[in-house]
Amino acid sequence: MENINYLAIFRDSFTLVILLFCSLLSLTFAFERWFFFRKARQKKIDGFLAHVSGMINEGKIDKAIEFAAKIDSPVSRLFHYALQHRDMPRRDMEELLATKRQEERLSLERNLGVLGTLGNIAPFIGLFGTVIGIIKAFRDLALSGSGGPAVVARGIAEALVATAGGLAVAIPAVIIYNYFMRKTKVISSELEIFSARLIIMLGAK
């Protein structure tokens, strides 16, 4: 059987063009989320908490607010938001911080749905391309009237490239999606822990 011309297959298969677009889309959102989480994952968080706690204990609330505003991370934004509303009753403060945590979680999950969707649909797009390719292979066999299994085998081999392409797009997308979802859960848990500590530090009634 002669070698398969993958470039020709790519030109003739619209499903491979779709999978290429899905692959580029997946890479784009993966890099966007990587940069976002790199910034969101605050380093030396214990030092941040100790510094803010010290300023609160010294009554330097304004300096604590200014310090938290300088750091761009979910934890610092939570602290900044809480310090701005520090005079609220404890129950209202807890509800307010819960809404802030939800807001931060939505930011963490932004665009992850695209990666999850691509991971789910890419194999089906590839399978669709394979089915179309097999149909074409049998049609070519019927039109040629000769060639035997070799004609079908070549056509099926070319059709299976679409399935391989779908898996090649789906597997990395699912891995990346699960990785960022794990980081989202970790940061969300940290926000819950630190918001509880902050309420105690502020002595909300």
With the C-alpha atoms ordered 108, 111, 117, 119, is the resulting torsion angle positive or negative? Answer: negative
Return the amino acid letter for 7.
Answer: L
User: What is the C-alpha separation between 62 and 189, in angstroms, rounded?
Assistant: 27
Q: For residues 38 and 113, which has the higher predicted lDDT (pLDDT)?
A: 113
The conformation of residue 1, written as its DSSP 8-state character, comes to: -
3-state secondary structure at position 77: helix
> What CA–CA distance (Å, rounded) separates 134 from 152?
8
Find where tokens 């030092």 sit: 47
Q: Which residue has 């030109």 as its token pair?
A: 11
Q: What is the tens place of the pLDDT at every residue in 88-134?
A: 787 888 888 888 889 889 988 888 999 999 999 999 998 988 888 88
Condensed to tens digits (0 to 9), the pLDDT of residues 8-29 reads: 566 667 788 888 899 999 999 9
Task: Name, in order, each residue with C-beta under 8 angstroms of 36's C-beta and a sequence gap of 6 or more.
Answer: 108, 110
Q: Tokens representing 195?
A: 């918001």
Angle between helix axes 149-202 and 90-109 (nearest 10 degrees) is 160
Q: Is the pTM of this model over 0.85?
A: no
Structure tokens at 166: 């779908």
Place 31 in a pLDDT band, splitting at 50, 70 and 90: very high
